[in-house]
Amino acid sequence: MIYFLLYLFLEVLVSVNIASAIGGVWTFVELIASALVGIVILANFRGTLAENINALNQARIDPFEFQQLNLFTILGAFLLIAPGFLTDIFGVLLQFSVITKMLVNRFVSQSKHDSSTHNTQKDDHVIDVEIVSDDADKR
């Protein structure tokens, strides 16, 4: 709940500042234009999906990154459709693969680091044992 209120507060601040700088008519034009761009992105998502499948087949991205890239593209399109300057800024940023890859790599590296740290802590209490069979003693 607190994050939603923080988002609303930031959205109002950004929207009021930008709208007062560019005026009411240009604010309306920007809202309509960004919604149309979001709709076009959703309509052309099939092409983006094909590019990501091609990158997955060529092993340039892994399956987790494939899911994240497609999720960020759709999320960015919906943010562009939603009214507001802050959502438009985030929506445009999510359309660039460089930024989405940075976000994916940031979260993936943190989760891999957390899991590797957890595994090493768990393996500290393991004692390596060699099992010698009785047949080796008889020879």
* Inside any domain, residue 117: no
Question: Residue 94 belongs to what domain range?
Answer: 11-101
Q: How many CB atoms lie within 10 A of CB 104?
A: 21
- The reported pTM is 0.67
Q: How far apart are CA 47 and CA 49, in angstroms?
A: 5
Residue 67: pLDDT band by 50, 70, 90 thresholds?
A: confident
* Inside any domain, residue 1: no
Q: How many CB atoms lie within 10 A of CB 56?
A: 16
Count of structural domains, the chain? 1
* Inside any domain, residue 135: no
* Inside any domain, residue 92: yes
Q: Which of 100, 6, 25 is nearest to 91 (CA)?
A: 100
| pLDDT mean over 24-34 | 95
| pLDDT tens column, 95-108 | 887 777 777 677 66
* Inside any domain, residue 83: yes
* Inside any domain, residue 125: no
